[in-house]
Amino acid sequence: MQIFCFDMMMILCKERGIGPGFLVHDSHIFDGVDERQIAKALEFTAKEVEKLGYQYIITLNSDTLPDNSLHNINLDNYILPVILTDETEEGGLFGFRF
């Protein structure tokens, strides 16, 4: 959550015209964090990025997403429908199989 708080400070710097205008994190940002805290963090972030025109990208596994009853936002509005899989020969990332 310390990194998340730093990210929020970076997002708020957008009001002063400094910073890159976007941040990207992988799933480790919420590693070991309680589901309720994740829900509150995502809820807060959604409000701030919409207000400031910021882009905040977090990659999460579907089992990390908080239960729908824990938050006041519809996460489906923020989830991109891209699914990466290696189950078929067409699967992979950017045309590469690992």
Summarised one tens digit per residue, pLDDT across range 32-85 is 888 888 888 888 888 888 888 888 888 887 777 777 655 677 777 777 777 676
Is residue 89 included in any domain, yes or no?
Answer: no
Where does the pLDDT of residue 94 fall: very low under 50, low under 70, confident under 90, or very high at 90 and above?
A: low
Is residue 94 included in any domain, yes or no?
Answer: no
Identity at 95, one-letter amino acid code: G
Phi/psi of residue 67, nearest 5 degrees: -60, 140
Q: What is the pLDDT of residue 53?
A: 83
Is residue 16 included in any domain, yes or no?
Answer: yes
Total count of domains within the chain: 1
Cα separation of 67 and 62, whole Å? 11
Q: What is the pLDDT of residue 48?
A: 84
Q: What length does the chain have?
A: 98
Is residue 92 included in any domain, yes or no?
Answer: no
Where does the pLDDT of residue 2 fall: very low under 50, low under 70, confident under 90, or very high at 90 and above?
A: confident
Q: Which domain holds residue 43?
A: 2-77
